[in-house]
Amino acid sequence: MTLKIKDENNIPSLFSSLEGLEGMSANVGVVADPGSDLAIYAGAQEFGAVITSKKAIAKLYFMLVEEGLLDPEKLPIYIWMNTKTEIVIPERSFLRSTFENNEAIEKAMKLFVFAMDRALAGQGKMISALEAAADSFVASVKGTIAGGVDPKNHPLTTAKKGHSRTLMGKEPRLQKSISREIVRGA
């Protein structure tokens, strides 16, 4: 009885696949046109913001009155406008806090290694490892948004939204905008 062993050399295709990954990276974040309302909102939430526009301060006054959170008899607008010089939006980091979260990093790394092992075994492509890690971070960022980030919302914000969850509006626009893009670097 004879034993035949058939071997296939996949090393050249593995090297080619690895070379294809050279210079590639994944961007994970808010998909919105720069300057769009969504991009401005996301930036203000991620880093915080200070608004000094008199028009915005006046609008805030009327919104507070409308919601019954401010009595115009006790605090007339002329006093409000002379005392209120800014509106502060506190920092609620949803991207940076996720990317610094060890649990999110470990989850992405496990998926990366799993996909890489499959590719090395000829059961997938190397790019799948990068995609798996990026998709994991997308899910983690969306989870951070869904879980809310301190500090709590201002009572006016809660009244306007109808709930107290931070980073979540009446529609989850910010959460839905989180995506990833695989890019080839220089």
The encoded tokens of residue 177 equal 């905008």
CB 182 within 8 A of CB 127: yes
CA–CA distance, 134 with 57 (Å, rounded to integer):
40
For residue 122, the 8-state DSSP code is T
Residue 150 has pLDDT above 90, yes or no: yes
Strand partners, 21: none
pTM exceeds 0.75, yes or no: yes
The helix (H) or strand (E) run that includes residue 142 is helix 127-147
pLDDT in tens, 102-143: 999 999 999 999 999 898 888 888 899 999 999 999 999 999
Query: Percentage of the chain surpassing pLDDT 90?
Result: 73
Question: What's the whole-number average pLDDT of the chain?
Answer: 91
Q: Tell me the CA distances in angstroms from 55 to 41, 45, 59, 81, 85, one per residue in order.
A: 18, 21, 6, 10, 11
Instruction: Please report, for the chain, the start and end positions of each structural domain, with discontinuous segments joined by +.
Output: 20-30+93-184
CA–CA distance, 149 with 96 (Å, rounded to integer):
12
Which runs of E-coded beta strand occur in 23-133? 24-30, 49-51, 87-89
Residue 154 has pLDDT above 70, yes or no: yes
Cβ neighbours, 10 Å, residue 71: 10
